[in-house]
Amino acid sequence: MSNTRHLPFIPGVGTPAWLGVMGGGQLGRMFVHAAQAMGYKVAVLETTPDCPAGHAADQLVTGGYGEREALDELASRCVAVTTEFENVPADSMAYLAERTFVAPASGCVSIAQDRVLEKRFFVECAPGSSVMPAPHKVIASIDDIAAIPDDLLPGILKTARMGYDGKGQVRVRTREEVQAAFDAMKGVTCLLEKMLPLAYEVSVLTARGLDGESVVYPIAENVHRDGILFTTTVPGPNVSDDCARRAQDAARAMIAQLGYVGVLCIEFFVLQDGSLVVNEMAPRPHNSGHYTIDACVTSQFAQQVRAMARLPLGDVRQHSPAVMLNILGDVWFEDGSDTAREPAWEQVLAIPGANLHLYGKVEARRGRKMGHLTFVAPTLADAQDSLRQACAILGIAP
């Protein structure tokens, strides 16, 4: 493998190269589509056979993320392997890396799946990135709670591992509330972050190749509801040129410091005074980057394929203003009803610039990500108007 480690994997006629994905969710599904469009075959490793990525993949390997037999099968077939979610066991990524090319590396995944390590990394990057995380403290015992500085409250207590879409997070105002939340979380290691005067949130989608070259997409402005991404707007209506430059520079510094290969999303808070605070990162394509499928020259998923295959990274130019709307399972249900019915997609798709992406999940459930809509238009105002029309059709509060 050492002789081919730095060579590109180009799909050949009759003997296509195989790429592998750890995880069978919607991110894996969209990766599969992008890879197949470029001539690759894709194998997906997932614990259950009925999964979004498995429906599209050329091969589904059914097994646990830590099962050696399943990992060996993936590694023996694929010239490169990636992950579609950050909580895949880092040990499994390291095991695969002994047998095939893996991007991102297990060390990068380890940092991103542990908030304590992640914050430590952000602090180490601060001299080069000029952006710090929010003031914070590790909470691993009762003694840590007693030692909380007064100016760290009110704050948000977050589990160090396994939190996503607002899960594993509790707002706390006093040490007593910290104690109650810590107890409710079964005493697992947590991170207490100071609540800051937030103006809005942005995410920076960046990618880096094995050769060290990197690219940064336009800055996306995000709105969340109940801890789940609601909309992504690009260009961000509140993002100044200076803010965009600082966020992009910080992302470049961080991805270089990691020695990262692949697509990385870094989320930042913009405070009311205009200052920038780094929040968290995801070592994979990201929900806020879905707009790139319809609005950019190279989608985030095609970019991940390029990085894995050691091909030149793609053009990140945005050709149209865009607004992305997450579609949750709630839109399948009338108010107060438990009976699912199909939303009026024909009305939504009559809106100019509407692009519907459904993830192939067999059951709609409230709060479950079922798909997304991206609205592209000549102007941002037009895209935002299309969003409002779709929300009215689907019964979503704009």
Check the annotation: does 158 bind a ligand. yes
Check the annotation: does 264 bind a ligand. no
Q: Is the C-alpha dihedral spanning 59, 64, 70, 75 positive or negative? A: positive
Check the annotation: does 137 bind a ligand. no
Give the angle 11-13-17 at the CA atoms, nearest 5°: 30
Check the annotation: does 304 bind a ligand. no
| Residue 17 three-state SS | coil
Check the annotation: does 294 bind a ligand. no
Check the annotation: does 115 bind a ligand. yes
Check the annotation: does 164 bind a ligand. yes
Check the annotation: does 369 bind a ligand. no
| Residue 53 three-state SS | helix
State how far the Cα of 333 lies from the Cα of 343, in Å rounded to an integer: 8
Check the annotation: does 162 bind a ligand. no
* Nearest of 156, 248, 166 to residue 207 by alpha carbon: 248
Check the annotation: does 289 bind a ligand. no
Check the annotation: does 118 bind a ligand. no
Q: Do 147 and 140 contact (CB within 8 A), yes or no?
A: no
Check the annotation: does 279 bind a ligand. yes
Q: How far is CA 289 from CA 246, 263, 322, in A?
A: 19, 10, 11
State how far the Cα of 128 lies from the Cα of 358, in Å rounded to an integer: 40
Q: Do 295 and 205 contact (CB within 8 A), yes or no?
A: no
Check the annotation: does 201 bind a ligand. yes
Pairing of strands 18-22, 41-46: parallel
Check the annotation: does 136 bind a ligand. no
State how far the Cα of 111 lies from the Cα of 167, in Å rounded to an integer: 19
Q: What is the length of the chain?
A: 398
Residue type, position 328, single letter: L
Instruction: Calculate the CA dihedral of residues 261, 263, 264, 270 and round it to 10 degrees.
Output: 140
Return the half-sphere exposure (C-beta side, CA atoms, 13 A cut-off) of residue 23.
20
Phi, psi of 89 (to 5 degrees): -60, 125
* Nearest of 188, 194, 184 to residue 137 by alpha carbon: 194
Check the annotation: does 166 bind a ligand. yes
How would DSSP label each residue in 104-123?
S-HHHHHHHT-HHHHHHHHH
Q: Do 300 and 278 contact (CB within 8 A), yes or no?
A: no
Binding-site residues, in ranges, read 115, 158, 163-169, 193-196, 201, 224, 279-280
Binding-site residues for ATP, in ranges, read 115, 158, 163-169, 193-196, 201, 224, 279-280
